[in-house]
Amino acid sequence: MSLMDRIISSYIGRLSAEEKEKIIVKTMPLMFEDIKSDRLVELMGKTMPAVVRDAMCEMESGGVAQVVQEMVPALVRNCFTRMSSEDRRKTLEMLGSELVKIEEEFI
């Protein structure tokens, strides 16, 4: 683990759940703003599981809902602006399918 990784890990680890919420809501959309579309898949695959596991696991339901409601629309919009129309269509179909699965499982 690099020095930067250790510093970031130790800093984030000491934050309260509320502080983590604020960081996620403010920074995640910005993190992907200027990333090229060919890198988004790899970066999202590496970052989103860690966000859910390490930060959101400590949050209350309302905090998780706030993160999702504020972060996801901005993140999705930034991603979609960089996709071809065919990739947008495929992604919308996949998102629709996932929403149906979530609705069936949790609602």
Tokens 């966000």 -> residue: 51
Residue 51: per-residue pLDDT: 67
C-alpha closest to that of 72 among 32, 12, 105? 32
Tokens of 41: 């898949």
Per-position DSSP letters for the chain, written without gaps between them: --HHHHHHHHHHHHS-HHHHHHHHHHHHHHHTTT--HHHHHHHHHHHHHHIIIIIGGGS-HHHHHHHHHHHHHHHHHHHHTTS-HHHHHHHHHHHHHHHHHHHHHH-
Gap between the Cα atoms of 79 and 69, Å rounded = 16
Q: Is 14 left (phi over 0), alpha (psi -120 to 50) or beta?
A: alpha
Boundaries of every domain in the chain: 16-106
pLDDT tens for 28-80 read 778 777 888 778 778 777 777 776 777 677 778 888 888 788 878 887 888 88
Against a cut of 0.95, is the pTM above it?
Answer: no
